[in-house]
Chains A and B, each alone.
Chain A
Amino acid sequence: MIKHILTLIWNKKGSNTLLMIEILLAFLVLFAVLSFVFFNMDRLSEPLGFETENRKYIRYGNLDHIEGDSIRNLAVRELKRSLQDLELVESVSLSHDVSPFAGSNWCSGSDDMGFNIEACYSVVDYDFVKTNGMKIVAGRDFKEEDMAATYPVLLANKTFMDDTFGDKDMIDSIIGYNGAKRQIIGVVEEYKYDGEFAESQNRILLLSTSKNSSWARLTNAYIKLDPSADVAYEEKISKIVQSVVKTTNFVIQDAPLLRKRANLDTWIPMIALLSICAFLCLNVALGLFGVLSYSISQRKAEVGLRRAMGAHAGSIIQQFTMEVVILAGMAVLIGVIFAIQIPLLNVMDVENSIFFRGILYATIIILVVVTLCALYPSIQASRIHPATALHED
């Protein structure tokens, strides 16, 4: 049977080559787009590590118009206090420049006692974990007294702990990081401040010390609001910030909106690519359908002969469908040979399973689409009455 079909395919090698190239290309496009989608979805499924609901982020910057660290320090403390005093504000926290969805990144790395310690960090105050709804999975949260601790304290995310120390329990250990000896007091679940589509990376939260120079560099504030606070409440917050920092050069941003916008940056290309891909598939499917129905209708004589010799409708359908599926299978096989090089040669610094899934799903989609396209014309062909078919020739 298969040998017979292969002969049939070989007989029309000219037009079949074109068909195969088309299916091959469609496979490669599908593979690329699906891999991209899986790559992003994998990241999306990892936790973000903090909550954005009912949160506002205020970025007031360096306060360069206030001269001197000690006065700037007072202003920053005053800001925190006066925001906390507001009725509908549940908690307030401060951090330096690295804040969620802002795009900045501060990293540091060094070799400490045989551990390669590398992580990106944020300097935050003691209310940060609470205000942003982060989860502590081991150890404890920052406390206000920690600012005066002998060793500056830090919280690390789970990725950092697993990557650097493996299974060892490192709570309360002292490590060298960013030019100082620091104590790990706890582990947070995650802190993907670049957004939900970011890769889970090594992150460290450094507690700002009580020194003037440290507090004066806190440039961002985070507010957790009561759910009953409405848009007009933002103006009230704005007035308070303005009266403390003595400028309107600050931004109050809605955290859920920022998160949505950051996600949109990935969703838009993903949806655009997927819809272009869907269009290409539809285009190829329709084209294939056209070509198949046309070429099968050209083979009426063959069908008539087979029917007259006793072949029943099912075997006619099987023959035509198999012919197309085998053709597509060969094209996909060539595609797989190309596509599999990417995970095998480690071309990209990405987890290989993504590409294998990409190959699997692209293969399934192509074969299903091709089968569907072949089925209808084959059924049509099988309905031809032998007498009509043979009469024409």
Chain B
Amino acid sequence: MISNYIKLAIRVLGRNKFFTAITLFGISFTLAILMLIISVLETEVGETPPLTDKDKMVILPSLQLKRQFYDTIYAYDTTMYKSAQIIDTTFTLKENGSNNSNNEFAHWFLDKHLSKVPNAKNYTFFKSGEIFNSYVNNSKVEMRVTFTDHRFWEVLDFQFVEGFGFGAQSVEREEPVAVITTDLADKYYGRTNNIIGEMIEMDGKNYKIMGLVEPAGVSLLAVDIIVPYTHAAIGSVRSNESGFGGYMAIFLGETSADIKLIKEDIKYINSKTEVPVAAQGKYDIIKFDAFGYHETYAGQILDLNDEAKSLWIMKLIMMGLIGLFILLPTLNLINLNVSRIMERSSEIGVRKAFGADQRVILTQFVIENIVQTFIGGLIGLVMAIVLLNVINEAKLMGDIILKLNLRFFIYSFLICLLFGLVSGILPAYKMSKMHVVTALKQNKL
């Protein structure tokens, strides 16, 4: 039965080339853009390496030191009481400006206070954002470096092309070892294989390469070379003593339910931690909040100083935008189909006259629409893949490399199905409701 419907649907598509072209154009473009959006979301917030466990991750981005100033506000109320004036004075403390420093952590601070979070199964501290230059064959190579510990490789599942990450001993003994990305290998050596054992120069030091990884392709981990943190310039005395340094922490829970517990642990640790001695003259409040990965992500984009709220607002904005975006082409398709009901009236009339009930006809037209959507979806998929490659090639999204994976195809399939259903039901319902006599009266068999 269904194969009959499909055959019929394809026949119908060929009947009126003009309308088919309009419909397919709308469907394929809409779906192509939706697929692009899925791909961006999947890359940035989906669970792909090296952040497969991101739903179990808690990120501690920064330390805030603060001193709050207060103002005393006086209010005078005068009342007449027994012909004498009585003055009633009230004063309230009002927050009036603050001194505020917000920055990443010093390594010693994390090590001292946050290396024993009870509910965290694993954790890593890392410092990103420094860039070193090197000149290879008369061209400049910029290396974005991350300093970290051996647990970095346990918490994040970087995809190793060759070799492996450094261990605890390498970190402790300050061994000059490095893991680099294929991007950097290509720029530095002009090849992306047999790199293990090569030396790479950074800041006047030679590092032995022991691992080659695929670039992370997400904004949080924009990095080219990863080395043990014991190599980081330890001289930053001034910033170090106050607790600021450049390090972030990621904690990993056993399950995603642990996120809440880890956050509470960190809140408790915060309440027990005092302002570092070197900063006590300037600040008296210390605050560090941990967030789930998605909250951190939304916080980075919206910058509201409230990560949980940012996530909510971002979800709302995203859903609103996507909703609006789908609604227009859907309405368009519905309009087109509704106005063309009469085209099919004779067919409906004959089928009804031979005993087909409303449900059968409804099913037929919905399936027809879904088939149409899938043909459009296929074209859309091709367009999306072409666009994806263009975006990746031109590096339009900066460090983000858009990926295609199984989930992308599943989501795309679901979206096609949904789109087909939503845009098909109303016209199909109208068609199936058509009275036999009216349908047959349109005498164009």
Q: Is chain B a partner of chain A in the same complex?
A: yes
Stretch of B126-134, B176-184, B365-373 on the interface side: B126-134
Is A380's CB within 8 Å of the partner chain B? no
Q: Which one of B139, B140, B238 has the greatest number of beta carbons of chain A within 10 Å?
A: B140
Is B284's CB within 8 Å of the partner chain A? no
A residues near B342, Cβ cutoff 8 Å: 298
C-alpha gap A279/B131 in the complex (Å): 41
B236 contacts A287, CB within 8 Å?
no
A65 interface neighbour in B135, B233, B325, Cβ under 8 Å? B233
B residues near A288, Cβ cutoff 8 Å: 335
Q: Which one of A65, A250, A264, A280 has the greatest number of beta carbons of chain B within 10 Å?
A: A280
Is A11's CB within 8 Å of the partner chain B? no
Is A78's CB within 8 Å of the partner chain B? no
Is A88's CB within 8 Å of the partner chain B? no
Closest residue on chain A to residue B240 by CB atoms:
A64
A21 contacts B331, CB within 8 Å?
yes
A residues near B26, Cβ cutoff 8 Å: 283, 286-287
B331-361, CB under 8 A of A: which get 1 and which 0? 1111110111010000000000000000000
C-alpha gap A288/B334 in the complex (Å): 11
Given that A287-B22, A290-B18 are contacting pairs, would A65 and B336 also be in contact in the complex, using a CB cutoff of 8 Å? Answer: no
Is A364's CB within 8 Å of the partner chain B? no
Closest residue on chain A to residue B233 by CB atoms:
A65
Question: How far in angstroms is the closest Cβ of chain B from A179?
Answer: 11
Question: How far in angstroms is the closest Cβ of chain A from B214?
Answer: 24
B204 contacts A238, CB within 8 Å?
no
B residues near A286, Cβ cutoff 8 Å: 22, 25-26
B332 contacts A65, CB within 8 Å?
no
Is A25's CB within 8 Å of the partner chain B? yes
B residues near A295, Cβ cutoff 8 Å: 339
B22 contacts A276, CB within 8 Å?
no
Is B202's CB within 8 Å of the partner chain A? yes
B238 contacts A62, CB within 8 Å?
yes
Is B154's CB within 8 Å of the partner chain A? no
C-alpha gap A21/B324 in the complex (Å): 12
Is A235's CB within 8 Å of the partner chain B? yes
Interfacial residues of chain A within 278-312, with CB under 8 A of chain B in the complex: 279-280, 283-284, 286-291, 294-295, 298
C-alpha gap A66/B237 in the complex (Å): 10
A residues near B336, Cβ cutoff 8 Å: 287, 290-291
Closest residue on chain A to residue B330 by CB atoms:
A22
C-alpha gap A295/B339 in the complex (Å): 7
B residues near A250, Cβ cutoff 8 Å: 133
B residues near A248, Cβ cutoff 8 Å: 132-134, 202-204
B204 contacts A234, CB within 8 Å?
no
Given that A25-B327, A280-B329, A287-B332 are contacting pairs, would A235 and B135 also be in contact in the complex, using a CB cutoff of 8 Å? Answer: yes
C-alpha gap A15/B142 in the complex (Å): 60
C-alpha gap A28/B321 in the complex (Å): 12
C-alpha gap A231/B135 in the complex (Å): 12
A238 contacts B135, CB within 8 Å?
yes
A294 contacts B239, CB within 8 Å?
no
Is A313's CB within 8 Å of the partner chain B? no
Closest residue on chain A to residue B130 by CB atoms:
A249
A218-258, CB under 8 A of B: which get 1 and which 0? 00000000000001101100100000000111111000000
Interfacial residues of chain B within 200-218, with CB under 8 A of chain A in the complex: 202-204
A235 interface neighbour in B138, B239, B396, Cβ under 8 Å? B138
Closest residue on chain B to residue A238 by CB atoms:
B133
Is B33's CB within 8 Å of the partner chain A? yes
B residues near A15, Cβ cutoff 8 Å: 335, 338-339
A266-283, CB under 8 A of B: which get 1 and which 0? 001000000010011001
Closest residue on chain B to residue A61 by CB atoms:
B130
C-alpha gap A4/B325 in the complex (Å): 35
B328 contacts A22, CB within 8 Å?
yes
B residues near A283, Cβ cutoff 8 Å: 25-26, 29-30, 328-329, 332
Q: Please tell me the number of chain B residues within 8 Å of chain A, measured between CB atoms.
A: 43
B203 contacts A284, CB within 8 Å?
no
Is A5's CB within 8 Å of the partner chain B? no
B333 contacts A64, CB within 8 Å?
no
A276 contacts B33, CB within 8 Å?
yes
Closest residue on chain B to residue A25 by CB atoms:
B328
Is B235's CB within 8 Å of the partner chain A? yes
A83-109, CB under 8 A of B: which get 1 and which 0? 000000000000000000000000000
A residues near B239, Cβ cutoff 8 Å: 62, 64
B142 contacts A251, CB within 8 Å?
yes
Closest residue on chain B to residue A275 by CB atoms:
B33
B132 contacts A249, CB within 8 Å?
yes
Is B19's CB within 8 Å of the partner chain A? yes
A residues near B235, Cβ cutoff 8 Å: 64-67
A18 contacts B334, CB within 8 Å?
yes
C-alpha gap A132/B145 in the complex (Å): 30
C-alpha gap A279/B236 in the complex (Å): 53
C-alpha gap A289/B20 in the complex (Å): 13
Interfacial residues of chain B within 169-227, with CB under 8 A of chain A in the complex: 202-204
Closest residue on chain A to residue B397 by CB atoms:
A268
C-alpha gap A66/B203 in the complex (Å): 15
Closest residue on chain B to residue A110 by CB atoms:
B97
B130 contacts A19, CB within 8 Å?
no
A64 contacts B332, CB within 8 Å?
no
C-alpha gap A26/B142 in the complex (Å): 45
A22 interface neighbour in B30, B202, B233, B331, Cβ under 8 Å? B331
Is A334's CB within 8 Å of the partner chain B? no
Closest residue on chain B to residue A264 by CB atoms:
B396
C-alpha gap A289/B132 in the complex (Å): 58
C-alpha gap A280/B26 in the complex (Å): 8
B332 interface neighbour in A22, A238, A264, Cβ under 8 Å? A22
A294 contacts B340, CB within 8 Å?
yes
C-alpha gap A249/B338 in the complex (Å): 66
Q: Which one of A64, A235, A289 has the greatest number of beta carbons of chain B within 10 Å?
A: A64
A1-30, CB under 8 A of B: which get 1 and which 0? 000000000000001001101100110110
C-alpha gap A25/B238 in the complex (Å): 57
A residues near B25, Cβ cutoff 8 Å: 283, 286
C-alpha gap A284/B336 in the complex (Å): 10
C-alpha gap A314/B238 in the complex (Å): 83
Interface CB pairs A-B, < 8 A, 14: A18-B338, A22-B328, A64-B238, A234-B140, A235-B140, A238-B133, A249-B130, A249-B203, A249-B233, A284-B328, A287-B336, A288-B335, A291-B335, A298-B342
A contact residues vs B (CB 8 Å cutoff): 15, 18-19, 21-22, 25-26, 28-29, 62, 64-67, 231-232, 234-235, 238, 247-252, 264, 268, 276, 279-280, 283-284, 286-291, 294-295, 298
Q: Can you list the 10 inter-chain pairs with the closest CB atoms, starting with the nearest?
A: A287-B332, A64-B236, A65-B235, A22-B331, A64-B235, A248-B203, A291-B339, A286-B22, A283-B26, A251-B131
